[in-house]
Amino acid sequence: MAIIVNENDSMKLWGFVSCHHLTPRYIPFPIRDACEFILQVFGVQLSMEQQFKLHMAEKKIQKTQALLSDMILKDVPFGIITRSPNVMDLVNCNGAAFSYDGVCRVLGVTPTELQIKDIISWLIENDKQ
């Protein structure tokens, strides 16, 4: 019997339940029907849990985004690199660099400061296109 979940307004096979016996066995319709109903309920519950996890992850991202925006607006721009939460909590990455008024701060695995300045120069030059 299939375990079906609703994902992005489409039905998706999440799993499958199968019972095996050494000899053929007849399962009466009421028992098969009850099993299918239980698996349907399980699929609905699973869909609800997945939606809840997505909702909680979105709320966490929005909260982190709001905190980082507040840091920048309150004249603490380097806070998005030096404080917690930081920009790496918002973006799945191994490192981050932040340059402001010619001062560069890094967090995690990043290019060297000279390479970062070269990247910034390249971005400024090519931003006009």
Query: What is the model's pLDDT at position 128?
Result: 73
d(C-alpha 35, C-alpha 29), whole Å: 10
Q: pLDDT (tens digit, 9 = 90+) per residue, 37-67?
A: 999 999 999 999 999 999 999 999 999 999 9
- Read off the pLDDT of residues 57-104 as tens digits, 9 standing for 90 and up: 999 999 999 999 988 888 788 888 888 888 998 888 999 999 888 888
Predicted confidence (pLDDT) per residue in 21-37, tens digit: 889 888 899 999 999 99
Residue that has been written with the tokens 């120069």 in this structure: 121
- pLDDT value of position 129: 59
**Which uninterrupted H or E stretch holds 70?**
helix 29-73
pLDDT score, position 81: 87
**Residues facing residue 103 across a β-bridge:** 100
Quick one: pLDDT at residue 53? 95
123: closest CA among 92, 99, 96? 99
Task: Please classify residue 86 by burial: count the beta carbons closer than 10 Å to its beta carbon, then call 0-12 exposed, 13-18 middle and 19+ buried.
Answer: buried
Amino acid 100: pLDDT: 86
Would you say residue 11 has pLDDT above 70? yes
pLDDT of 118 > 90? The answer is yes
